[in-house]
Amino acid sequence: MTLMKSWVESANATDHPFPLNNLPYGVYSTTDAEARCGVAIGDMILDMQAAEEEGLIVLAEDPLFDVPYWNDLMEQGPAVWAALRARLIAILQEGAEERAAVEPLLVSMADAEMHLPIVVSEYTDFYAGRHHATNVGTMFRGAENALPPNWLHIPIGYNGRASSVIVSGTPVRRPWGQLKSPDHDLPAFLPCRRFDLELEMGAIVGMASEGPITVQEADDAIFGYVLLNDWSARDIQAWEYQPLGPFQAKATATSISPWIVTRAALDPFRCDTPEREFELLDHLKDCGPMLFDIDLSVDLAPEGGPATIIARTNYREMYYSSAQQLAHHSTSGCPMNVADLLGSGTISGAEKDSRGSLLELSWGGKEPITLDSGQQRSFLEDGDTLTLRGHAQGDGYRIGFGDCTGTILPALENPYAR
Ligand code: MN
């Protein structure tokens, strides 16, 4: 696959995140327009509400883009998803006869404020990166018990909170919680002292299911992917997680990048999961390449200081694909809904500088990292800004994800001291 040329000139740069090959879906507003669906093309956004009103995009009898979310489009199913992509390519490609009608419906991305692209139905987060699970398990339980015995057989997850999902750019307040220092006998209620990021991908389920589905059906049901930062309060987590897993440690916020990169745009970058240590049971077996070759990085900028890249990794590092996670999620009969969000689990590589959390990068605070500013970090400090980035590299083009960023605000006064 090579670059598909658009009459929107900025989309033709070889390193632009949003060429015609990509066409990611978001929701934006401007000073002149209330929040609405838009498609990124180069430095511009196509106003989908206007495109539908003008008759340039007609996919169903009733309007799909008179609402500020992509749920209604997803509800239409894969045939309509494909029809939309084909139509967008037709009207935005070089030489398109619709150019004169479409051009007035483009707004500059620089003038747009981004919002959550979907109304998140439910949110589940997994723990499916082997390097991450091994690192965290070693720190929490020792090297002998690093990977729990189930880990190589099922993608482990927990049910998170859809209400806590926020769009990139939204600040994140340091939480309070119950935590217990190793040198104290009893817990205390304090502001989190070990606030952390988790570099993840989020898969957005586009088709509902009632009961068990296969890995192939699950792959077909995934609408697209976003970058996801699963903010994590490590000291709260360490105290609360046994035996039912994380709870308040993960409930403060989960940030996602504003643009949904469709599965169709990522198809050329499919790759296999790693070699299996144990053969997976039939219902979880790989049935084709279902991971994607996506370069990922995280940078950290202290307040008023320069950003330092603290980790580089790749989505290939996952042990389980999102399709396997979705299939596993459905095995119990659990109904899955349109706009369910599945976090991949932290994506860490084998190398020290490819670890997707500060917990791993600083090895539980024992080995602080040094930023370009000279400051050291074991965990996040107030005023720090974290930015996740990602792109798949094609032949002369890129499929980019919008940045996923967030700044840490100081904890409030003790919310119970009144
Ligand atoms: Mn996570």
- Residues 245-288 have pLDDT tens digits of 999 999 999 999 999 999 999 999 999 999 999 999 999 999 99
Asked if the model's pLDDT at residue 182 lies above 90, the reply is no
For the whole model, what pTM was predicted?
0.98
Position 264 scores a pLDDT of: 98
| Last residue within a domain, chosen from 88, 115, 142 | 115
Structural domain that includes position 93: 9-115
Quick one: 102 and 19 in the same domain? yes
Under the banding of pLDDT at 50, 70 and 90, the label for residue 141 is confident
Which one of the listed residues 16, 131, 132, 328 is annotated catalytic? 132
Q: Are 150 and 328 in contact (CB under 8 A)?
A: no
Q: Are 299 and 307 in contact (CB under 8 A)?
A: yes
The encoded tokens of residue 51 equal 């495109």
Torsion sign across C-alpha atoms 368, 369, 375, 379: negative
Quick one: 111 and 127 in the same domain? no
Quick one: 146 and 279 in the same domain? yes
Q: Are 256 and 167 in contact (CB under 8 A)?
A: yes
Q: Are 228 and 255 in contact (CB under 8 A)?
A: yes
Q: What is the CATH number of the domain that holds 76?
A: 2.30.30.230
Length of the chain: 418
Quick one: 325 and 289 in the same domain? yes
How many Cα neighbours within 13 Å face the side chain of 253? 23
Quick one: 298 and 320 in the same domain? yes
Quick one: 244 and 189 in the same domain? yes
Q: Is 256 helix (H, G, I), strand (E, B) or coil?
A: strand
Output DSSP code: residue 318: B
Quick one: 172 and 288 in the same domain? yes
Asked if the model's pLDDT at residue 402 lies above 90, the reply is yes
Q: How far is the CA of 346 from the centre of ligand 1 (A)?
A: 5
132 in catalytic set: yes
Q: How far is the CA of 10 from the centre of ligand 1 (A)?
A: 35
Quick one: 197 and 100 in the same domain? no
Under the banding of pLDDT at 50, 70 and 90, the label for residue 418 is confident
Position 88 scores a pLDDT of: 98
Q: Are 42 and 107 in contact (CB under 8 A)?
A: no
Quick one: 109 and 132 in the same domain? no
Q: Could you report how far apart the first and last alpha carbons of the chain are, in Å?
A: 62
Q: How far is the CA of 394 from the centre of ligand 1 (A)?
A: 28
86: Cβ contacts below 8 Å, ≥ 6 apart: none
In angstroms, the Cα distances linking 403 to 10, 258, 298, 367, 386 are: 18, 8, 10, 28, 10
The mean pLDDT of the chain is 97
Q: How far is the CA of 314 from the centre of ligand 1 (A)?
A: 16
The encoded tokens of residue 287 equal 């049935």
418 within domain boundaries: no
Torsion sign across C-alpha atoms 311, 316, 318, 322: positive
Quick one: 136 and 73 in the same domain? no
Q: How far is the CA of 245 from the centre of ligand 1 (A)?
A: 11
Q: How far is the CA of 135 from the centre of ligand 1 (A)?
A: 14
Phi and psi dihedrals of 214, rounded to 5? -80, 170
Q: How far is the CA of 229 from the centre of ligand 1 (A)?
A: 8
- Residues 1-59 have pLDDT tens digits of 899 999 999 999 999 999 999 999 999 999 999 999 999 999 999 999 999 999 999 99
Position 83 scores a pLDDT of: 98
Position 259 scores a pLDDT of: 98
Instruction: Give the span between the Cα atoms of 223 and 203, in whole angstroms.
Output: 8
Of all residues in the chain, the percent with pLDDT exceeding 70 is 100
The encoded tokens of residue 203 equal 């898969």
Beta bridge partners of 200: 228
